[in-house]
Chains A and B, each alone.
Chain A
Amino acid sequence: MPKWGMVIDLDKCTGCQACVVACKTENNIPFSTPEQAEMGRTISWIEIIPIMEGEYPRPKLRYLPRPCLQCDHPPCIKVCPVYATYRNPEGLVGQVYSRCIGCRYCTAACPYTAKYFNWSAPTWAKEFEPCLNPDVSKRPKGVVEKCTFCHHRLQKAKEKVKAEGRELKDEDYVPACVQTCPAGAMYFGDLDNPNSKVTQQTKSPRAFRLLEELGTEPKVIYLTEGEWHGAYRK
């Protein structure tokens, strides 16, 4: 069974946010209004987190793209009272909207703030409705949602390779953010396959995981830029 993981090379990332928009179009993520944004209710499954260090004239601004890290020991699933969020056999942390009761324990439990609560019903202008992705549901008000590693793409990829009578390869299944990344800073693949690009990358001396000390064992691995070893703050 493959174990899906992502590697993000911070040395290549330019902070352009193409991944953010790609994710929104792929996953029917409603855009917020200015008022909601002001209240911090913008939903962004993958978010660019800026990290400002130093003072003028030598400031260093870094960007950290943060999807759901799909932890192997996800703190969010431990607190869910209704089993709406769980870790599936391929290591993906699933979120079942029809089960979710919106208690937001998981949003609080996630140390990476990767989970988002729908404070209001998603609204699109009527004109925008045709471009919603039929492979992804529209989440109702009152449920928690998060990055799925574009899990629906995996379903379709599995189906495709089965129809073609072959094994699933890394390039068959790529989340929208990885596919679009202009700088090629994101890699995706099977962490259990020793030959996959991601596995190779995790062996890099630059590799690190966010808040490793919490023991969450995230499956999103970052590569530092230069000698930087990321302290995470928001």
Chain B
Amino acid sequence: MQANKFRIIGLVLVAGLLAFTWLRIGLSKSTEIRQPIRFNHKKHVQGGLECSGCHQTVKDQATAGRPETSLCMTCHEASVTKNPEENLIREYAQRHEEIPWQRVIKLPDHVFFSHRRHVSTEKLDCTSCHEAIGQSSEPPSRPIKFSMDSCLACHQKMKASVDCVACHK
């Protein structure tokens, strides 16, 4: 009985320090992200594109996937808008280069997340997690963070697994 109490005290101590460390790193290391092209999600969504139109592996793989230059070129082969940013796409295509999209959401290495599971089998809407990205006209300049709390809250609500190894790899 008593041993258990000590264990809990120990646990609290650890948790506290852990939280502190986490916070410290989180605050000091968040860096600005600049995308190679100032991509306008809103325009694309308004134009009638589905999220999976560009994030092509979202339904059947773990990662949603980023559009390859060739995919962008299917629409942007010729000018669609007057936006000078659009020319950048064609420049990449001409150089046979992939557009170096920068990652804005980076899960820690010990987390396993699968889009397929959430989108395909559980039929979650993209906005359940990615809220307003479809409404943004500028790419986010800071990394987007997800907290385990938000994952857990939803998992508990939806009666999904809260087993550690189901998400921690």
A101, B14: Cβ atoms under 8 Å?
Answer: yes
Residues of chain B contacted by A162 (CB below 8 angstroms): 117, 121
Q: Does A89 contact B (CB under 8 A)?
A: yes
Contact B110 A88 (CB under 8 A): no
Q: How far, in whole Å, are A182 and B54 apart by their CA atoms in the complex?
A: 42
Name the A residues within 8 Å of B60 (CB-CB).
163
B114 contacts A159, C-beta separation under 8 Å: yes
Within 8 Å CB of B112, what residues of A? 135, 152, 155
Size band of the B side of the interface? 20 to 34
Given contacts A94-B165, A159-B117, contact A82 B110 (CB under 8 A): no
Give every chain B residue within 8 A of A137 (Cβ-Cβ): 109-110, 168-169
Name B164's closest neighbour in chain A (CB-CB).
Answer: A96
By beta carbon, the residue of chain B nearest A90 is B163
B110:A97 contact, CB within 8 angstroms = yes
Is the Cβ of A88 less than 8 Å from the Cβ of B114?
A: no
Within 8 A of B (CB), among A117-157: 134-138, 148, 151-152, 155-156
CA gap between A88 and B162 in the complex, in Å = 10
A-B contact count (CB 8 A): 56
Q: Is A186 an interface residue (CB 8 A)?
A: no
With CB as the reference atom, state the residue of chain B lying closest to A94: B165
**A-B contact sample (10 more), CB < 8 A, given A94-B165, A148-B165, A163-B116:** A81-B11, A82-B14, A88-B165, A89-B163, A98-B108, A134-B62, A135-B62, A155-B114, A155-B166, A159-B117
Q: List 25 A-B contacts (CB under 8 A).
A: A81-B11, A82-B10, A86-B164, A88-B165, A94-B163, A94-B165, A96-B164, A98-B108, A98-B110, A134-B62, A135-B112, A137-B109, A137-B110, A137-B169, A148-B165, A151-B169, A152-B112, A152-B169, A155-B112, A155-B114, A155-B166, A156-B114, A159-B114, A162-B117, A163-B60
